[in-house]
A and B are shown apart, each in its own frame.
Chain A
Amino acid sequence: MTKLLQTLVDSIAVGSLYGLIALGYTMVYGILQFINFAHSDVFMVGAWLSFLVAVRIGGQTATVEPSVAKALLVLLTAMVCCGALGFTIERLAYRPLRQAPRLNVLITAIGVSLFIENLGQLKWLFGAMPQPMPRLLPDRPLFALAGVNVNLLDVIVVGTAAVLMLLLNWIVFGTKLGRGMRAVSYSPPTAALMGVPVSRIISFTFVIGSCAAAAAGFLYATKYITLQQPAHETWIRLGLKAFVAAVVGGIGNIRGAMLGGLLIGLIEFFGAAYLSPNLRDVYVFAVLILVLLFRPAGILGRATVEKV
């Protein structure tokens, strides 16, 4: 029982992070129909920027007095910078390829991803060494439930993720901008004819997705403390799992991404806890393949039929 609850708490915390990252994948896929491989690097940059800013404002070590104001400052800086990064990537690398075959865009995305990783590895940026994230947020057992400690940090992670998701949900379904996004995702030419500024909407989508990824990066860094070097495969692997979450939930579907994130978190942690801890990646990808085989459009997605 204890194990079950503990696993549940862990998986929800991680799952909500997956969900946040998956939002960026799913929104870009929904509008441009391509896998933005560089998204996991935006997530990585978000985590590393959080580290840099935290060190700058709070001193070098883990003895920083935890403060919500400082944490918010770090979070916002990371989000703004990553938003700008996402905007730049789309402008410079993807926009010239709007009409190109999808494989080309995919290769470009891989190129951008390699570029960011290796740029981050340079001495004057993030460096090629793992670093410990300073503690910015207080962490203590909040309450115990059937012998399981629920930590404040977990609650903060899940809470922040939930707030951001609700915000995003509101942006997409409750604002004019969101209506533009949905219009573009159905058909960019038609949306353009209806007066939707397609290019601006696409830029905006990248900015939002990147902000969400940055927030996920910040939360990841605060929860897991150790930051691997930028080109380390951990980042891409986390990104891949988030992408799997987007596909499982139904790619292009924002609520699907959130649901998929939680589901992948659950599968990964329960598989690790009850089957074998070493095969967690296998569970995730096996579920992916099964979902694609039996419900290719994902849980919340709708199948499309090609017209002859």
Chain B
Amino acid sequence: MTSANARWVAPRPAAAGTTWLYSLLPLLAAIALAAALHFGLQPAIGPFRTNVLMNIGINVILAVSLNIVNGFTGQFSIGHAGFMAVGGYTAAAITYYTSFRVWGDALMHGGVLSGVPANGWLTAGDALFVGSCLAGGLLAAVAGYLVGLPSLRLRGDYLAIVTLGFGEIVRVLLQQSDSDIPYLAADVQRMSVWQMARHLGGALGFSGVPFYTTPFWVWLFAAVTLLVAFRVKRSSYGRAFLSIREDETAAEAMGVALTRFKVRAFVLAAFFAGIAGGLFAHEIGTALNPRELGFMKSFDIVIMVVLGGMGSISGAALAAAILTILPEVLRSPPHVWPLGLVAIVFVLMVRRKAGRRAALTLAAVTVALEAVRAAALWQGVNLADYRMVLYALSLVVMMIVRPKGLFGVREIWDYRPLGRRRAATVAVG
């Protein structure tokens, strides 16, 4: 810094071989986690719970990716299901029609990881599936770019309405696609790509997509999403997102190009939502139809993000898991006191003084829930009928009692037991 024009530029050290190892190590961990869930957990829990396991993973991808827009950047998107739909339909169409072209049918041609050990380890089918999911993500990212552009001019609620409108337009357009999906190889051979893109099943939905999605693929993508989100959050790049959330004017004065970063947040989030859509499209037991991917789905994802705490990645993931399991659990409500006890102990350990009031609240909630359960059993009321009512009610109560979500802007591990709270992320590297 000798002359007036010399600027400080972050110096780069010579590349070190081990740094690349650190860069790729988490990816290996992701594969290990996905494999563990797939080969370890899946056989133990049976097909129904396996589906719940996959749904959790897909919702984790959706919530964590939306968190990049809503939580990091402070923008307000309620059209995430629209990106999911773009990705899901793209992936479904590519897999379905390519399968016909290559194998003459739309059966599943995957290997071990797609659930067919007889076919060997990695097959062309697996490659097609992963490729179509990535393609779905890319097209969704393009859509994200187009939706992100209006954020040039719009703030807050207005942006929210535009994203909502985008989601609705996607839904209606998909509903208007041709419902007549060909199921004969000869018919597919005759179709042009343009015709394929028009035959997406209409309001009835796209049926016949081969079931490639397994816990392995879901959790591999979920782990990658989590990894990307964490790396972005704890980086110079991610702090630019966060600064926009905190104060747009100040961020711009610090040299953060608002529009560029907002659009990038949208693109990144849409990419992963598109992948989640691809996984959803190839999952057994789901219906890829436009109604499933309407604004109610978008709301579900927003609720996960807000419940977890805006900007908290682990919070969003945990909320996604809870909210996926909750409706299932409410079908036959179990005792809640063990969970209540755990929560109370956690709160007391993390925040000794302020924790007392929270613990009392939790105790009251636990007792009330147990009372409801007992009363329902006694009166012979089927609580399953009330599950959506209870879900909605708990959402409202949650917003009033703990408006910052479960974890605020922090991550779960920023709450240290029996100690002072740490500020949000400070670690580097």
Contact = CB atoms under 8 A, between A and B. Distances in A.
Interface in A282-307: 282, 285-286, 288-289, 292-293, 296, 306
Interface string A234-259: 00100010011001000000000000
Contact of A281 (B153, B168, B291, B391): B168
A275 interface: no
Nearest to B296: A233
Contact of A97 (B168, B175, B310, B400): B400
B165 to A, nearest CB: 4
Nearest to B159: A292
Interface string A82-124: 0000000000010011001111111110111111011101110
Contact of B157 (A35, A97, A115, A118): A35
A63 interface: no
B399 A108 contact: yes
A285 B79 CA distance: 13
Nearest to B310: A103
Contacts of B76: 103
A279 interface: yes
Contacts of A240: 164, 168, 295
Nearest to B302: A107
B309 to A, nearest CB: 11
A111 B399 CA distance: 9
B123 interface: no
Contacts of A122: 385-386, 389
A35 B158 contact: no
B169 A33 contact: no
A106 B163 CA distance: 15
B157 A102 contact: yes
Contacts of B161: 35, 243-244, 247, 288, 292
Interface residues of B, number: 42
Nearest to B175: A278
A173 interface: no
A97 B359 CA distance: 22
B395 interface: yes
B303 interface: yes
Interface in B272-295: 291, 294-295
A233 B396 contact: no
Contacts, number: 117
B364 interface: no
Interface in B136-183: 150, 153-154, 156-158, 160-162, 164-166, 168-169, 172-173, 175-176
Nearest to A110: B299
Contact of A288 (B165, B172, B310): B165
Q: Interface residues of A: mostly helix, strand, loop or mixed? A: helix
Given A233-B294, A240-B168, A279 B154 contact: no
A123 to B, nearest CB: 8
B393 interface: yes
B168 A107 contact: no
A118 B161 CA distance: 24
B4 to A, nearest CB: 28
Contacts of A296: 153-154, 158
A105 B396 CA distance: 9
Contacts of B395: 107-108, 110-111, 114
B306 interface: yes
A271 B160 CA distance: 25
Nearest to A118: B388
Nearest to B171: A281
B332 interface: no
Contacts of A204: none
Interface in A195-254: 231, 233, 236, 240, 243-244, 247
Contacts of A244: 161, 165
A292 B399 contact: no
Nearest to A93: B396
Given A103-B76, A292-B150, A293-B153, A114 B388 contact: yes
B249 interface: yes
Q: Which of A35, A114, A288 has most chain B Cβ within 10 Å?
A: A114
Q: Which of B166, B386, B396 has most chain A Cβ within 10 Å?
A: B396
A233 B291 contact: yes
A282 B162 contact: no
Contacts of B117: none
B403 interface: yes
Contact of B403 (A104, A113, A243): A104
Contacts of B166: 285, 289
Contacts of B165: 244, 285-286, 288-289
B55 interface: no
A289 B162 CA distance: 6
Nearest to B163: A289
Contacts of A278: 172, 175-176
A108 B396 contact: yes
Given A107-B399, A293-B150, A35 B160 contact: yes
Contacts of A281: 168-169, 172
B168 A285 contact: yes
B70 interface: yes
17 contacts: A107-B302, A110-B302, A111-B392, A112-B392, A114-B391, A114-B395, A122-B386, A243-B161, A247-B158, A282-B169, A282-B172, A288-B165, A289-B150, A292-B154, A293-B154, A296-B158, A306-B249
Interface of B: 70, 76, 150, 153-154, 156-158, 160-162, 164-166, 168-169, 172-173, 175-176, 249, 291, 294-296, 299, 302-303, 306, 310, 385-386, 388-389, 391-393, 395-396, 399-400, 403
Interface of A: 33-35, 93, 96-97, 100-108, 110-115, 117-119, 121-123, 231, 233, 236, 240, 243-244, 247, 278-279, 281-282, 285-286, 288-289, 292-293, 296, 306, 308
The 9 tightest CB contacts between A and B, nearest first, are: A111-B395, A114-B392, A115-B392, A285-B165, A118-B388, A111-B396, A108-B399, A118-B389, A281-B172
Given A122-B385, A288-B161, A296-B153, 6 more contacts: A35-B160, A100-B403, A102-B156, A108-B395, A288-B162, A288-B165
